Amino acid sequence: MLSREEIKKNVGIYAAGLVKPGMAIGLGTGTTAYWLIKELGARVKEGLQIMVIPTSAKTGQLAKELGIAVSDLNAAGELALTIDGADEIDPEGQLIKGGGGALLQEKIVAAASRELVIIADSSKQVDQLGKFPLPVEVIPFGYKQVIRQINQQGLCSKVILRQVNGYPFITDHSHYILDCEFVKIEDASSLNVLLHGIPGVVETGLFIHMTKRAIIGYPDGRVEVTMYK
């Protein structure tokens, strides 16, 4: 049986095969995307010519270190493809993302792409979203009012301000993250709309019908492509 890291490496290498010469692609963030970036770096060294739009500063930094050409989304126009990780995937391909705190840029880059392909190990597949706390990116100003409104509307069971070493976690775009705990998310689409209705909410980690394809790795070494409607 493969370790979780070996599974992530497998799907990262598999997904690199989708990247063709001359493509401009969105490059995901996280420990699974790491393996994709490493593999693309190796292929670039062998002559593959691509342009990437990173979904976070960390991904952009790694890509540059590996010699991959990095561009800006405004300069790039529509992207052929974005390949990114996920924290949860339901049977319809709805996602929770943002465990790494990059959800805003990830969603903008995905929306600018003809296709979002998800890479994940099989543990990310769930029957219903909500076990993984939903990251919600908020403006620091008055963020406690956002928490109050989420609680008043009963949108989730518990809201926690994400912190690192006792200080608020700051996103690449200088925002905070609220991690919202649920038992289950019954209607992800409505929840997304309700959260967006609260002033101060910048973006949610709910990616609703944004992906039609997930590359899933299993402990026995299989890598399978799951398609969604």
Token pair of 229, please? 């409607």
For ligand 5RP, the binding residues (CB under 6 A) are 28-32, 84-87, 97-103, 106
CB pairs under 8 A, 24+ apart, for 66-73? Answer: 66/37, 66/38, 66/40, 66/41, 66/42, 67/41, 68/27, 68/37, 68/40, 68/41, 68/44, 69/44, 71/24, 73/108, 73/109, 73/112
Closer residue to ligand 5RP in complex, CB, 89/156: 89
Least distance from C-beta 34 to ligand 5RP, angstroms?
A: 8
Closer residue to ligand 5RP in complex, CB, 43/107: 107
Residue in 6, 88, 92, 106 annotated catalytic: 106
Least distance from C-beta 103 to ligand 5RP, angstroms?
A: 5
* Residue 57, burial from CB neighbour count under 10 angstroms (0-12, 13-18, 19+): middle
* Residue 75, burial from CB neighbour count under 10 angstroms (0-12, 13-18, 19+): exposed
Closer residue to ligand 5RP in complex, CB, 102/155: 102
For the question of residue 106 being annotated catalytic, the response is yes
Least distance from C-beta 47 to ligand 5RP, angstroms?
A: 28
User: Which residue in this structure is represented by tokens 């290498």?
Assistant: 13
Closer residue to ligand 5RP in complex, CB, 32/211: 32
Least distance from C-beta 106 to ligand 5RP, angstroms?
A: 6
Q: What residues act catalytically?
A: 106
